[in-house]
Amino acid sequence: MKPRYLDYATTGNLIIPMLFLDSEQYMQLIDDCEAGKLEMKQKLRTKKRGA
């Protein structure tokens, strides 16, 4: 089953997917987000439409 939402963090033009983070890396992202260094986003997955 695929995740329904895509969670990621952005800083500049760097996108950091949050699927593969361990707890220490996640906590570092939370700290950086609170400090204003990056922005966390959540996007609802959409179905691809066939031709």
Does 37 fall in a domain?
A: yes
Q: List the domain range (segments joined by +) for residue 19.
A: 5-44
The answer to whether residue 17 is domain-embedded is yes
DSSP string, 16-30: EESTT--HHHHHHHH
Residue 17 · residue 6 · CB < 8 Å: yes
pLDDT band at 44 (very low <50, low <70, confident <90, very high): confident
Q: pLDDT value at position 2?
A: 55
Q: Is 42 helix (H, G, I), strand (E, B) or coil?
A: strand
* pLDDT value, residue 5: 61
pTM: 0.56
Q: What is the pLDDT of residues 12-41, one digit of tens each?
A: 888 777 777 788 888 888 898 889 888 877
On whether residue 14 sits in a domain, the answer given is: yes
48: how many CB neighbours lie within 10 A of its CB? 5
- Which residue, 43, 40, 36, is CA-closest to 10? 40
Count the domains in the chain: 1
